[in-house]
Amino acid sequence: MDFDNKVIVITGASSGIGAAAALLYAKQSAKVVLVGRNEESLNKVAKQCEDARGIKPLTIKAELSHDDDVKNIVTKTINIFGRIDVLVNNAGVGVQGSILEGVELLDRAIATNLRAVYHLTSLAAPHLIKTKGNIVNVSSVAALRPIKDVNYLPYCISKAGLDQFTKCLAVELGRQDVRVNSVNPGGTNTPFAETAGFTKEQVSELYKSRSSLYPLGKMAESEEVADLILYLSSDRARSITGSIYVIDNGEILV
């Protein structure tokens, strides 16, 4: 896969799937733009990326629910690199909640998991049209089925909306030779559950119980999901757009 000198913008790049994808792109000599909330973690990922091929990444601290921060991502990227070839909308929040708890939890989930993606993509789209680039959205199996062991109602709804966004955008941008696809992981070994409010002990038990139910008997690793992201954003996938790729060890089947 040839990403030599391609400019790749990755949100949620300070850990987990985003960090794994950033490192894989860096190993392919890409110019990586790392976006995240934790500056210390971003800098650690940036060093790993620079060590891979000697290309210094651009790091941008941003809260994606803040419009000015989102605008700054595109402005800084264009000022430094002059182009955008791939946008990986990876950042997301896991919001638990019941319908009985009101609409505020849904607002929180939508703000990061859908509205921010829409906003950032709308700003990046003119640059992606110029480069005939592409977009990979990181969604979830939660977009395709309810999560049985956690009350993730707001999260599920936000990710279902993201999948429809992927399909609609693929139709709109296809005539400009911009591809749009989605990667939908199931249970994956990342800090995601802890940021959603689970303790380390709860995460350990959750992963153990889930692994025992999955047909392949294990959780996915961030690097496995990152491999799929790279493939979909490469020229090898030049005939793929508007597609939803599940990577879940068979979770959706049980």
- d(Cα 100, Cα 197) in Å, to the nearest integer? 19
Instruction: Return the ∠ at Cα 244 (arms to 243 and 246), rounded to 5°.
Output: 145
- d(Cα 129, Cα 134) in Å, to the nearest integer? 9
Element (H, E) at 179: strand 179-185
- d(Cα 140, Cα 149) in Å, to the nearest integer? 15
Clarify whether 214 is annotated catalytic.
Answer: no
Report whether 166 contacts 182 (CB < 8 A): yes
Q: What is the largest CA-CA distance in the chain?
A: 52
Q: Which of 25, 152, 155, 245 is catalytic?
A: 155
Q: Which residues are annotated as catalytic?
A: 155
